[in-house]
Structure 1
Amino acid sequence: MIYGISYTALFFFIVFVGLVLGLSFYFGRKTKSASSYYAAGGQIHWSINGVAFAGDYLSAASFLGICGMIAVSGFDGFLYAIGFLAGWMVALFLVAEPFKKLGKYTFSDALNSTFQSRLVTLTASISTLIVSIFYLIPQMVGAGDLVTPLLGLPHWVGVFLVGIIVIVIVATAGMTSTTYVQFLKGGLLIVLSTILTIYILKNGFTLNPDHKNQAYHEFLELSPEIKDGKVERVEDWNVITQTEVQGKEFVNLEKDGVSRWFDLVQSDNRYVLKEVLSITEDENGTQLYNGEPKENGNFYQVGHLSKIIVNGKEVDKTGPVGPFEYLNIIKESTVVRFTNVKFLDNNGNVSLFYQNEIEGKDFLLPGLKYKIGKGASLWSKMDFVSLMLALFLGTAALPHILIRYYTVHSPRDARKSTILAIAAIGTFYILTLFMGLGAATNGVMDVESSNMAAPLLARAFGVVLFSVISAIAFATVLGTVAGLLVASSGAIAHDLLDGYFNKNLSDVNKVKAGKIAAIVVGLFAIALGVSFKGMNVSFLVGWAFAIAASANLPAILFLLFWKKTTAKGISWSIVMGIVSSLAIILTSPSMWALYGLNPIDAIHQLENPAIISFPLSALTLFLISSFKKNIK
């Protein structure tokens, strides 16, 4: 999509970043001990920690990713929200209070509360780093996506910017400043999402969205002359080429020196050419958007209804509607989605986004992304179950969530924090359903990045709302990345250096080592954020949940509820969880595409590994603990 700088957005961006950095420097002066750096001294009030929990959890994946997934895939996108929220049940009933009793600073502390095993320390710290890095990737991708419309800057600049700011946050005050940043942005995110949802319901539906900040584009429809399935003539256009891609016919036409791509379809027993969005790149690397240079601005936001049905009658617009009426109208209407295909023609790389109409009732049912009913394969069914398993089990095993239990005073406070977090997160996820559907039907979708669905929807209702929500979304990324860097720095400095390598660091040196570790991990996260540009952040977070569920959760549950658990069983369980989940992810169709290979040729067709890696990890722990003696 084509963006320019918004000075109003820039103002709010500077205000929020300034506030976040101000909090960091304020608490930085009070952060002297390892306890205050890694766990805020255990002095955070449970109510603040509960909202901070929500802030930690409502990351780029929740605000940017889920809204985008719903806008593109309907109910299948909302499944992520259901899975994310359901995972808190495991955290509340099985983990919260007992985990608080076990640890001090890190995930490794809790596992080693009984064994004091160097092997457990090593494997748990490596697991923390791997899960944190996989969770960092989507946050950094989301940061880059946000900065493009906010400041009119390239994606990589946004990734670099958020990385540097977060490194400053963590390197100054650690967990204390991170907690208050999460508290601030978690509360504001829920409030502003509520306001945006009210705007959506008040705006209702229209066939031709026309907002102050972007105009709806009427896509051309042409009548071609066809012979033997080939387009011979089209009014006053010149036929350049016709290409078949994935069973569809695309035609390149030229008029007045500008070439456009069209989708050849049959409608009412006749052929029609429907205009598509196109990005073409010639052999010199020059990109044209719909046949023109990018600066011409000839590339449109999309996503709308082609038919609106109210009480069985077709209408052009509705006016304000209620929440249940809103869902019912979508169910009865027809949604226009855009599907991407890429190929190489004689002139260079071509990326096309063509219209794909779908009945609203199908949009609100599972099956657009995860095939589990008619037409489903064994792989698609396994993939769906695997994703739900990862989301349900992964929450209670995420290192940056687990260490937040150490910031409150007592196990009772840990439970109360979790209950408050569930209420806040549940409220937010209900709002994401309306924000995602609003983006899908209001002509605001950026076909190149589904992650921008919610901010661009806000822009349709006013630049101030867009500016504030984008700034808060950026703060969302900052807070989550800060929490992940604290978890990573604890794993390196407290677990590996002090615990495994027996450096016997003083309190001051432990904090210093943690800050250096945060800088290194932050720079690594920047590089990864640039590499994974364009991928949906919720999808990427699903991988982090799968690794956490596979590597960490069996160890936590067996330690808490099975007396025969051994240190060696825990260690090998973590190794099995990491290796099996990473092996499946790195050979998945999505990674195959990232390698520049055909996803269909991947070793397997499973995107989410938990259905295999979690049972393997749990079985490994059970077998080794049953038959091997504990190694101290």
Structure 2
Amino acid sequence: MINTQEPLAVALFLCVVAVGIGLSAQLVRRTSSPSEYFVAGGSIHWAVNGLAFIGDYLSAASFLGVGGLIATVGYDGFLYSIGFLAGWAFALLVVAEPFRRFGRVTFTDVIDARFRSRGVRFTAAVSTLVICLCYLIPQMVGVGTLVTPLLGIPYYLGILLIGTVVTIIVATSGMASTTYVQCLKGIALLTVSSWLAFAVLERGLVELPPLDGEEVVAERGHGGYSLPDGLTLEAGWSTSGAWQAGFLPVIEPDGRRSLWQVDAATESQAVLVRSHYAVTYDDEMMVDGISPPPPIPVSVGRLAQRSSLCGPSSLNPVTFLRCFSDSELYVWNRQTFLEQDQLVTAYRRERKSGAEVLSTGGLFDLPSKDWASRLDFISLMVALLCGTAALPHILIRYYTVGNHSAARKSTVLAIGGICLFYCACLIMSLGAMSGQAVNLLDSNMTIPLLAKTLGAAAFAVVTAVAFAAVLGSVSGLIIAASGAVAHDLMDCFLGITMNSKEKVVVGRMSAFIVGCGAIYFGLIFEGMNVSYLAGLTFALAAAANLPALLMALFWSKTTGRGVVCSMLTGLVGSFILILISPEMYVRYGRPAADAPFALNNPALVMLPVSLLVLILISRRYPDPRSA
């Protein structure tokens, strides 16, 4: 079982925590001024900063979420990583050097450099705080996902434990310790992901026998099906959500509710197949009608190998993908529906070729003519491409180096490292899909479960690195959010007179407050895929921050009033569209078709609207000082 505690994994986890606390204790003396606390005084070497970029960006959303998405939906999950990577090219070509030349402390300083406006400073600070809190959610969800199987404690205790530890680390020593933690984390991520990908290639694709369904011939009577062996149909089955989703709701002899699949029907009888399926029904996990102790690793795919060239020690990345494409798998198709006012999720086994898994359609359904699915995909890519260049905790890292040239070198190094990681992630995820290393109820555990198939030591190392990934990302987000509170709001906006020591104290207090908020939201969003949550955060950053940032840097007619209206439009409008999106309606327990907004990601709508608002307001209310 995946929740069996491994002493080595626990020991490595404690080592990661000890290293973080040790760095904080060592570097606490280097945080006597606001500049040293928030941006490490601009003294970080560009290579260290580039590795820290990798460690900061490859968060739980990448290491846990992207791997889980690829292993459950196939190629469409890999499109997330393409969007994440492409955003860095945009940041390098457009934002890096102009942003660094301002030489300030926070994202808000750059936006307000031309305008000296209290309204601009307040709006930019609030936007920074909101985006950092939203991005903290997937990181904390990833923490809880890892702690439960590692330490054997409940999800909420894991969130409280790790949230407290990382908040203490950030509050004591600020950006200096955060940078070195992220640098070490970046090196560890690249090393472990490359090693795992190599292990998958060495193991090859192992043929597994297929699972056969159990067939029962049932007589068809008046008003429904008459089932043998003590099985009975639920009352109102013909109008139930299960029947509309292709299942037949059945009550077992012991009173348990289960789902059966109708394969064929005639006027006199129907052939029912109890497919190998997993279903969350009445708040419990069932597999083939049997309720095992959760959590349980459920195979997403079983490989029917066609070529002898796909065995152990005979693959490179190209031949691995070719062999996977030429194989057949039994994959689990996820369906969600309402049954007796309860949200039910069923995973039905289907036979697919590897080529189908490696083509789009698992998540976005691009081959169909559904305009909403295509626009939703475009909207997600817009969010990932544009959101990267507008994430506050990424942008402030440009101030930890000495000049714009170092900022450019850091970005180039980050692009190379991130590209290497996502290539390895594709191999790891497909290896997990074909090797029974996925928990259907929590796809975020895919990479750790893949490591567990290689042995207890591999699981321990990967889990420790995953913890380091979360700790580094959470640290960067908390430091950016505390800067928005202490430096932007209290010091510059409210004008509270403080000396350097008092500003650092306020920054540390702000870090504690933000950390408490991260813990709270991590508890609320338990179970959601972290890449999906990260995609929404990127949409907020793209719509609220990017138009204001680009126009403030490159358009001389931009006004403070236009920036304020643009950021508020992007922030508030994106939140509203997210709340009325199909994915959120499912979480409300209502059909996705009832959602007023057809897209799950609002960037495609709100980014151009936010930009248009800025241009119109700036033209309508020009400011002579803006030039």
Is the partner of 2:361 in helix, strand or coil? coil
Q: Does 1:249 align with 2:243?
A: no
Paired AA for residue 161 in structure 1: L
C-alpha displacement at 1:253, in angstroms?
6.6
Quick one: which of 536, 550, 553 aligns to 1:557? 550
Aligned to 2:541: 548
Structure 1 stretches lacking a partner, 5+ long: 210-217
Which one is further off, 557-566 or 42-51?
557-566
Paired AA for residue 199 in structure 1: A
Paired AA for residue 510 in structure 1: K
In 1, Cα distance between equivalents of 2:342 and 2:491: 54
Is the partner of 2:365 in helix, strand or coil? coil
In 2, Cα distance between equivalents of 1:461 and 1:208: 17
Taking structure 1 as reference, are residues 624 and 260 closer, same or farther at Cα in structure 2, changes over 3 Å only?
closer
Aligned to 2:425: 432
Paired AA for residue 62 in structure 1: S
Matches within 5 A, 1:170-569: 170-208=170-208, 221-228=213-220, 232=226, 237-241=229-233, 244-250=242-248, 252=250, 254=252, 261-266=259-264, 271-281=272-282, 295=293, 299-310=296-307, 320-341=314-335, 351-373=345-367, 375-569=368-562
Q: Does 1:128 align with 2:120?
A: no
Q: Please say if residues 335 and 360 of structure 1, whose CA atoms lie closer than 8 Å, have aligned partners that are also in contact.
A: yes
Q: Please say if residues 391 and 541 of structure 2, whose CA atoms lie closer than 8 Å, have aligned partners that are also in contact.
A: yes
Paired AA for residue 300 in structure 2: G
C-alpha displacement at 1:249, in angstroms?
2.0
Normalized against structure 1, the TM-score is what? 0.91
Paired AA for residue 500 in structure 1: F
Aligned to 2:8: 8
Paired AA for residue 309 in structure 1: R
Aligned to 1:215: none
Q: Please say if residues 266 and 272 of structure 1, whose CA atoms lie closer than 8 Å, have aligned partners that are also in contact.
A: no
Is the partner of 2:302 in helix, strand or coil? strand
Taking structure 1 as reference, are residues 624 and 19 closer, same or farther at Cα in structure 2, changes over 3 Å only?
same
Q: Please say if residues 559 and 565 of structure 1, whose CA atoms lie closer than 8 Å, have aligned partners that are also in contact.
A: yes
Normalized against structure 2, the TM-score is what? 0.92
Is the partner of 1:604 in helix, strand or coil? coil
Is the partner of 1:116 in helix, strand or coil? coil
Is the partner of 2:349 in helix, strand or coil? strand
Q: Does 1:86 align with 2:86?
A: yes
Q: Please say if residues 86 and 392 of structure 1, whose CA atoms lie closer than 8 Å, have aligned partners that are also in contact.
A: yes
Q: Please say if residues 206 and 303 of structure 2, whose CA atoms lie closer than 8 Å, have aligned partners that are also in contact.
A: no
C-alpha displacement at 1:228, in angstroms?
2.9
C-alpha displacement at 1:615, in angstroms?
0.4
In 1, Cα distance between equivalents of 2:161 and 2:288: 31
Paired AA for residue 226 in structure 1: A
Matches within 5 A, 1:117-156: 117-156=117-156
Q: Please say if residues 279 and 290 of structure 1, whose CA atoms lie closer than 8 Å, have aligned partners that are also in contact.
A: no
Query: What is the number of equivalent residue pairs in this alignment?
Result: 613
Describe the superposition over 1:426-472 as per-residue Cα deviations: whole angstroms up to 9, x where unpaired. 11011111111111111111010111111100111111111111111
C-alpha displacement at 1:416, in angstroms?
0.5
Quick one: which of 589, 594, 597 aligns to 1:596? 589
C-alpha displacement at 1:594, in angstroms?
2.5
Paired AA for residue 562 in structure 2: G
In 1, Cα distance between equivalents of 2:421 and 2:207: 28
C-alpha displacement at 1:224, in angstroms?
0.2
C-alpha displacement at 1:294, in angstroms?
5.1
C-alpha displacement at 1:87, in angstroms?
0.5
Q: Please say if residues 277 and 299 of structure 1, whose CA atoms lie closer than 8 Å, have aligned partners that are also in contact.
A: no
Which one is further off, 331-340 or 472-481?
331-340
Which one is further off, 583-592 or 241-250?
241-250
In 1, Cα distance between equivalents of 2:589 and 2:252: 31
Q: Please say if residues 61 and 139 of structure 1, whose CA atoms lie closer than 8 Å, have aligned partners that are also in contact.
A: yes
RMSD: 2.6
Is the partner of 1:223 in helix, strand or coil? strand
Q: Percent identity?
A: 41
Paired AA for residue 7 in structure 1: P
In 2, Cα distance between equivalents of 1:115 and 1:567: 6
In 2, Cα distance between equivalents of 1:438 and 1:511: 47
Describe the superposition over 1:451-507 as per-residue Cα deviations: whole angstroms up to 9, x where unpaired. 111110011111111111111111111110110011100001100111111112221
In 2, Cα distance between equivalents of 1:270 and 1:291: 18
Taking structure 1 as reference, are residues 227 and 270 closer, same or farther at Cα in structure 2, changes over 3 Å only?
closer
Q: Please say if residues 292 and 298 of structure 1, whose CA atoms lie closer than 8 Å, have aligned partners that are also in contact.
A: no
Which one is further off, 172-181 or 345-354?
345-354
Taking structure 1 as reference, are residues 509 and 411 closer, same or farther at Cα in structure 2, changes over 3 Å only?
same
Taking structure 1 as reference, are residues 573 and 300 closer, same or farther at Cα in structure 2, changes over 3 Å only?
closer
Structure 2 stretches lacking a partner, 5+ long: none
Aligned to 2:169: 169
C-alpha displacement at 1:376, in angstroms?
3.2
Q: Does 1:36 align with 2:11?
A: no
In 2, Cα distance between equivalents of 1:528 and 1:631: 43
Which one is further off, 299-308 or 155-164?
299-308
Taking structure 1 as reference, are residues 145 and 299 closer, same or farther at Cα in structure 2, changes over 3 Å only?
closer
Taking structure 1 as reference, are residues 345 and 259 closer, same or farther at Cα in structure 2, changes over 3 Å only?
same
C-alpha displacement at 1:298, in angstroms?
9.4
In 2, Cα distance between equivalents of 1:571 and 1:535: 32
Describe the superposition over 1:89-108 as per-residue Cα deviations: whole angstroms up to 9, x where unpaired. 11111111111111421111
In 2, Cα distance between equivalents of 1:461 and 1:522: 35
In 2, Cα distance between equivalents of 1:52 and 1:572: 34
Paired AA for residue 153 in structure 1: I
C-alpha displacement at 1:337, in angstroms?
2.2
In 2, Cα distance between equivalents of 1:225 and 1:75: 38
In 2, Cα distance between equivalents of 1:506 and 1:365: 59
In 2, Cα distance between equivalents of 1:321 and 1:263: 38
Taking structure 1 as reference, are residues 108 and 300 closer, same or farther at Cα in structure 2, changes over 3 Å only?
closer
Q: Please say if residues 590 and 607 of structure 1, whose CA atoms lie closer than 8 Å, have aligned partners that are also in contact.
A: yes
C-alpha displacement at 1:631, in angstroms?
9.1
Paired AA for residue 550 in structure 1: A
Q: Please say if residues 201 and 312 of structure 2, whose CA atoms lie closer than 8 Å, have aligned partners that are also in contact.
A: no
Taking structure 1 as reference, are residues 227 and 135 closer, same or farther at Cα in structure 2, changes over 3 Å only?
same
In 1, Cα distance between equivalents of 2:285 and 2:424: 37
C-alpha displacement at 1:302, in angstroms?
1.0
